[in-house]
């Protein structure tokens, strides 16, 4: 099982139904459920939701044991609420466990809002997106920031990197200074960014973002900022590990160095205490899950 961000558990393995007819989908879903499979994936554009629903009913497996996924097609985005009800009708179900936007397209933000309303109405247990490009992913994710205050400004790499430069954003209560990030095979310099936040009282906080060692770290650009706090992304798989992060921290010279994003697990606590202990940076400070840091 994998635990989704709302606490719902989803099986890691299941059966897909792409290009199957309704009759084939019914037989496949029935056979899969009888064999012990519990994750079933379909989509409106597959044209077989009715067959999938029949296979579920025919198998007689308790509904709460089945994890059912379907997807809204792009042509449905402008009237997503109606499309959601239509999918449920075709499936013969009161709810689906996961509903996805199938592909990035016009009206996808409106469709995402309709999916959120469907969750509130009990028609959908969890929602997400698929086949979105990086910019579209960021756009949808930023829509879903919970408890966003009035006047909140979201600054992504689209705003923070302009023609290879990093503009500064003065928001009054805080000045946001984007800096380099990336510098590894999984994160490009033109798509990744770190941030230095200078609060109104002068306290400065650096968050590395997804990155390995950058030129700003090596050439003294960050050291010249006399940072109070630096948070180091150091999972050691997608970004630098604890040893490289400690070396970079020595270059930057912040008064307090804190490791974060140091585990890539999909289950349980996403903070690796052993990896945190290996972060041998000068002025290292480990903030454990549940602890607060008062700046």
Q: What would the 3-class secondary structure string for the chain be?
A: CEECCCCCEECCCCEECCCCCHHHHHHHHHHHHHCCCCEEECCHHHCCHHHHHHHHHHHCCCHHHCEEEEEECHHHHHHHHHHHHHHHHHHCCCCECEEEECCCCCCHHHHHHHHHHHHHCCCECCEEECCCCHHHHHHHHHHCCCCCCCCCCCCCHHHHCECCECCCEECCCEEEEEEECECECCECCCCCEEEEEEECCCCEEEECCCECCCHHHHCCCCHHHCCCEEEEECCCCCCCCHHHHHHHHHHHCCCEEEEECCCCCCCCCCCCHHHHHCCCCCCECCCCCCCCCCC
Dump pLDDT digits (tens) for 89-104: 999 999 999 999 999 9
What confidence score (pLDDT) does residue 268 get? 60
Q: Mind listing the domains of the chain with CATH numbers?
A: 2-139 (3.20.20.100), 153-277 (3.60.15.10)
User: Rounded to 5 degrees, what are φ and ψ at 204?
Assistant: -120, 135
Average of per-residue pLDDT across 20-42 = 97
Round the average pLDDT of the chain to a whole number and report it.
Answer: 91
Average of per-residue pLDDT across 152-173 = 87
What confidence score (pLDDT) does residue 57 get? 97
Percent of the chain with pLDDT over 90: 68
Average of per-residue pLDDT across 271-278 = 84
Sequence-distant (6+) residues with CB within 8 A of 32 are 14, 15, 40
Dump pLDDT digits (tens) for 192-228: 899 999 999 999 999 998 899 999 999 999 999 999 9
Dump pLDDT digits (tens) for 11-26: 999 999 999 999 999 9
What confidence score (pLDDT) does residue 37 get? 97
What confidence score (pLDDT) does residue 139 get? 81
Average of per-residue pLDDT across 263-277 = 75
Dump pLDDT digits (tens) for 220-259: 999 999 999 999 998 888 889 999 999 999 999 999 999 9
Q: Does residue 170 have a pLDDT over 80?
A: yes
Alpha-carbon torsion 92, 95, 100, 103, what sign?
A: positive
Sequence-distant (6+) residues with CB within 8 A of 22 are 47, 48, 50, 51, 54
Q: Would the pTM count as exceeding 0.75?
A: no
Edge-to-edge strands, sheet with 67-72: 15-16, 39-41, 67-72, 98-101, 127-129
Q: Does residue 151 have a pLDDT over 80?
A: no
The question of whether 46 is a catalytic residue gets the answer: yes
As a whole number of angstroms, the distance between CA 84 and CA 44 comes to 10
What confidence score (pLDDT) does residue 145 get? 58
Percent of the chain with pLDDT over 70: 95
Active-site residue identified among 18, 30, 46, 260: 46
What confidence score (pLDDT) does residue 267 get? 63
Q: Which pLDDT band holds residue 150 (cuts at 50, 70, 90)?
A: low
The CA-atom distances, in angstroms, between 143 and each of 7, 136, 211 are 20, 11, 24
Average of per-residue pLDDT across 131-135 = 85
User: Rounded to 5 degrees, what are φ and ψ at 179?
Assistant: -135, 175
- With vertex at residue 8, the alpha carbon angle to CA 132 and CA 61, rounded to the nearest 5 degrees, is 105
């Amino acid at each position: 099982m994998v635990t989704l961000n709302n606490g719902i558990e989803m099986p890691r393995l299941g059966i897909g139904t792409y290009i199957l007819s309704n009759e084939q989908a019914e037989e496949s879903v029935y056979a899969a459920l009888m064999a012990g499979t519990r994750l079933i994936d379909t989509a409106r554009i597959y044209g077989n939701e009715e067959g999938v629903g029949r296979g579920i009913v025919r198998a007689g497996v308790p509904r709460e044991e089945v994890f059912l996924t379907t997807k809204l097609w792009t042509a449905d985005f402008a009237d997503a609420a109606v499309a959601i009800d239509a999918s449920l009708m075709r499936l013969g179900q009161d709810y689906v466990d996961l509903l996805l936007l199938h592909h990035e397209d016009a009206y996808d933000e409106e469709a995402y809002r309709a999916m959120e309303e469907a969750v509130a109405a009990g028609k959908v247990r969890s929602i997400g997106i698929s086949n979105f490009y990086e910019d579209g992913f960021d756009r949808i994710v930023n829509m879903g920031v919970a408890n966003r205050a009035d006047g909140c400004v979201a600054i992504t790499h689209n705003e923070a990197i302009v023609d290879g430069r990093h503009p500064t954003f003065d928001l009054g209560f805080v000045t946001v200074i984007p800096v380099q990030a990336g510098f590894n095979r999984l994160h490009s310099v033109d798509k990744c960014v770190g941030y230095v936040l200078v609060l109104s009282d002068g306290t400065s906080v650096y968050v590395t973002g997804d990155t390995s060692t950058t030129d700003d770290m090596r050439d003294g650009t960050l050291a010249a900022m006399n940072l109070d706090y630096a948070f180091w992304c150091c999972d050691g798989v997608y970004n630098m590990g604890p040893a490289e992060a400690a070396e970079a921290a020595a270059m930057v010279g912040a008064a307090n160095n804190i490791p974060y994003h140091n585990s890539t697990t999909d289950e349980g606590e996403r903070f690796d205490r052993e990896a945190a202990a290996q972060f041998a940076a000068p002025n290292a400070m480990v903030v454990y899950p549940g602890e607060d840091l008062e700046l």
